[in-house]
Amino acid sequence: MEIFNACTYCGSDQLVRGPRGGACANVFCIRCGAKFNVVLQPGMSVVLVDTLTGPNTVLAKLFRMAENRTQEFDCIECGRHIVMVCGPPTSRCAACQAMPGWFRDPELARIIDPDRARESRDG
Ligand SMILES: [Zn+2]
Ligand SMILES: [Zn+2]
């Protein structure tokens, strides 16, 4: 039994799980597009059953496109560093879109950004 925690082709641990059928699932490597069949043992590791396809540049490209939808930016309103996994392109964080100026309100700031509220109090 082979524990499967990284792509056997490129060594990447960036793996995504496809549709699952019973204990079996397909797993794709984001970096090279290889496809594997694995068994998910309850409470245990993922075990490699079979390599379905080797590196696949088309698949890998699709995964990278999906990955590129991730947005990382500093909110132009509150300046917080934001990582968004999906959603329309934006330069404001969700908090600023829903409650513009929340960071000027000490009560809201403590709830939404407790780390910074603590920092500014200590410093
Ligand atoms: Zn790979
Ligand atoms: Zn913001």
Which residues share a beta bridge with 26?
37
Query: What is the pLDDT, as a whole number, of residue 122?
Result: 61
Look at residues 47, 66, 85 and tell me which one is the last residue of a structural domain. Answer: 66
Cα-to-centroid distance, 72 and ligand 2 (Å): 12
Same domain, 8 and 48: yes
- Tell me which DSSP letter residue 31 carries: T
Same domain, 40 and 62: yes
Query: What is the pLDDT, as a whole number, of residue 114?
Result: 86
Look at residues 46, 66, 86 and tell me which one is the last residue of a structural domain. Answer: 66
Cα-to-centroid distance, 2 and ligand 1 (Å): 16
Q: Look up the domain containing 45 and give its range.
A: 2-66
For the whole model, what pTM was predicted?
Answer: 0.52
Between 79 and 84, the higher pLDDT residue: 79
User: What is the rounded distance in angstroms from the CA atom of residue 82 to the CA atom of residue 73?
Assistant: 5
What is the tally of structural domains in the chain?
Answer: 2
User: What is the rounded distance in angstroms from the CA atom of residue 4 to the CA atom of residue 20?
Assistant: 16
Cα-to-centroid distance, 7 and ligand 1 (Å): 5
